[in-house]
Amino acid sequence: GQQLNQSPQSMFIQEGEDVSMNCTSSSIFNTWLWYKQEPGEGPVLLIALYKAGELTSNGRLTAQFGITRKDSFLNISASIPSDVGIYFCAGRAQGGSEKLVFGKGTKLTVNP
Amino acid sequence: EAQVTQNPRYLITVTGKKLTVTCSQNMNHEYMSWYRQDPGLGLRQIYYSMNVEVTDKGDVPEGYKVSRKEKRNFPLILESPSPNQTSLYFCASSFGVGEGEQYFGPGTRLTVT
């Protein structure tokens, strides 16, 4: 089946640092989504990408849909303690299916 | 407020005792789905529904049932729960096939002893 490789698995950074994480796929996707999950909560959508090459920002977050349609990255600038959580990428393959394939997540820890 | 709700949020039960986890969305979404989340395995889809009375198996459907009698509700049924179904469960919904993002409920933590 389709798989997403998300890296890194975990990150420990200092407040104020920039963060970058990415996802790669073995197949082409027509949608990339980035979610954040905090302890005890469900994943919350951060950014949705629908076109190859698309670069979208949401506050301090920026995500891009790779030109090859097989990858995406998420950057967080000037991290703050409330950025702590697990970040998931998710992709939807071509063919009209609604099925999302999820990465295993990147656990972010921000030290004040 | 647009949201997906799940009940209960926490449940401890015993092997073999039938249970239902409810899911409801108020966004008039056609597509609804159930996932389970386990350490190291990420989110795995259990069942999904494209519309009322239309359901299909996801990646890990064994031991689960669902129904979609109304557009807003998509309950998850465990007829005879077993300890390997101890997990964190999420319901999600979206407008439809290829149309927009999936929104997740807050989760139900199930423990089967």
| 8 A C-beta contact, residue A41 and residue B107 | yes
Which of the two residues, A31 and B98, has the higher pLDDT score? A31
| Rounded Cα distance, B36 and A55, in Å | 31
Chain B closest-CA separation from residue A88 CA (Å): 9
Question: How far apart are alpha carbons B62 and A28 in whole angstroms?
Answer: 29
Average pLDDT for B34-44: 91
Q: What does the pLDDT look like over B73-97, one tens digit per residue?
A: 999 999 999 999 999 999 999 887 6
> Are the beta carbons of A44 and B102 separated by less than 8 Å?
no
Q: Is A96 left (phi over 0), alpha (psi -120 to 50) or beta?
A: left
- Please answer whether residues B89 and B34 qualify as being in contact, where contact means their C-beta atoms are separated by less than 8 angstroms: yes
C-alpha pair distances (Å), A24 with each of A7, A52, B48: 9, 14, 25
Coil, strand or helix at B106? coil
Q: Compare all CA atoms of chain B with the CA of A1 and give the residue at the minimum distance.
A: B59
Least confident of A92-96, B21-25, B108-112: A92-96
pLDDT single digits (tens) A39-76: 889 999 999 999 999 999 999 999 999 999 999 999 99
Please check the confidence at residue B40 and state whether its pLDDT lies above 90.
no
B100 pLDDT band, cuts 50/70/90, is low
Q: Residue B31 and residue A35: Cβ atoms within 8 Å?
A: no
Counts of helices then strands in chain B (DSSP H, E): 0, 11
pLDDT at B95: 83
- Are the Cβ atoms of A43 and B104 closer than 8 angstroms? yes
Are the CB atoms for B50 and B80 separated by under 8 Å? Answer: no
Q: Which residues of A fall within a CB distance of 8 Å from B97?
A: 96-98
Model confidence pLDDT, tens digit, residues A87-105: 999 998 766 566 788 999 9
